[in-house]
A and B are shown apart, each in its own frame.
Chain A
């Protein structure tokens, strides 16, 4: 198939798109509902991120495999059905076999369905690509989403509660308990940051930071191109 040859050269492009250039949150401004709801702590962010990655990889793979038989007219209900089924199965499986983790994340897993980024990637990428690139795109988009979740969670947790990765051992096992850091002992807490308004504020600062960085990178690249051109001439 021609698409395979075309996409095999684009692995690094997919990775870059997912993590930075076309990041679910920072560039597409999608998935804000689950993002703001869970990022009170870095641990919760990481948990939702990991669960989202699983669903995004599986949905990318399935949608791509089935793209030959799904017609454009009914694609949206079929995609929604696939994603909702996957999320429910992940929810049931975690409840049965990773129960302690489910107690921490149980509330958030149904939120994955509200993550329009998954439907967005199914629609704009997975339904037009071969299975492997589609799954890889799901993975990288998921990783990008997870990075933002953890970053936002860490900022809000540090400012709001003075800790970092609280309860991480519940999520990742006792061996990673060292991740739990108390940054400011006897901190009275700054409630605003833990509540949704703090989420919006921190999110705005993060977005501004990315724009600033992108602009600076673009300026540097333009400068480099200009000097290269000058040297060439």
Chain B
């Protein structure tokens, strides 16, 4: 290939020119990306916070709390690393918590946001992201099917632990036709979330006043 409009002067054939050209373009591209990142970072963070708040409001009923859910988050140290737990407070009393729990889906991890009341019952569960087969596994999205609403009100004792499974595995939750792995993963994720809540119940539902008073 040759550019037809510009005659090639000698210096353009030098290695130094080529290197400087490539380096110059890399520099300009980097500068543009840095500027682009700086210009959009705040807006993107704000949009993502709004998304998170919208998801949280689906798993924690508005009547249950009078605080800003994003502001009263605590971090829980678990075996899988730090877990951010959003707390619903009425006054200083914890009425519910919400956190993310993950199950292994058919084509990748399924991230579920799980809201649990102080009494250990599921307030709501919503799939945050998944890579399941469109038309089959995506019925776990609330926009497509009300399947995920079946977890509302369930707790670790009800149904009993051995029935926390899809019907095919002898459990209480129905799978959908053509997809078993996907609902199984969601059931497992919700169950694991409830178990995690049970294991850390005292920390999670400790009244907010204690934490405030522990600060000098």
Contact = CB atoms under 8 A, between A and B. Distances in A.
A73 B18 CA distance: 7
Interface stretch (B1-9, B73-81, B86-94, B157-165): B1-9
Given A88-B36, A160-B135, A194-B134, A72 B1 contact: yes
A69 B40 contact: no
Interface in B1-39: 1-6, 8, 12-13, 17-18, 21-22, 25-26, 29, 32-33, 36-37, 39
A172 B25 CA distance: 35
Nearest to B13: A71
A71 B29 CA distance: 18
Contacts of B3: 67-68, 70, 72, 127-128
Contacts of B2: 72
Nearest to A88: B33
A96 B5 contact: no
A89 interface: yes
Contacts of B51: 99, 103
A3 B3 CA distance: 12
Which bucket holds chain A's interface residue count? 35 or more
A191 B43 contact: no
A68 B36 contact: no
B136 interface: yes
Nearest to A124: B1
Q: Which of B1, B32, B51, B136 has the most CB of A within 10 A?
A: B1
A123 interface: yes
A95 B40 contact: yes
A100 to B, nearest CB: 9
A73 B12 CA distance: 10
Nearest to B12: A71
B21 A123 contact: no
Interface residues of B, number: 32
Nearest to A84: B29
Interface string B175-211: 0001000000000000000000000000000000000
B25 A82 contact: yes
A233 interface: no
A74 B40 contact: no
A195 interface: yes
A1 interface: yes
A110 interface: no
A97 interface: yes
A160 B136 CA distance: 12
A128 B5 contact: yes
A78 B21 contact: yes
A127 B2 CA distance: 9
B133 interface: yes
B47 interface: yes
B17 A92 contact: no
Contact of B44 (A95, A123, A127): A95
B129 to A, nearest CB: 10
A81 interface: yes
A82 B40 contact: no
B133 A195 contact: yes
A29 interface: no
Given A67-B6, A69-B21, 15 more contacts: A70-B21, A71-B8, A71-B17, A72-B3, A78-B21, A78-B22, A88-B33, A92-B37, A92-B44, A93-B36, A95-B40, A96-B43, A194-B134, A195-B134, A195-B135
Interface of B: 1-6, 8, 12-13, 17-18, 21-22, 25-26, 29, 32-33, 36-37, 39-40, 43-44, 47, 50-51, 133-136, 178
Closest A-B pairs by Cβ, 6 of them: A96-B43, A96-B40, A99-B47, A85-B29, A92-B40, A89-B36
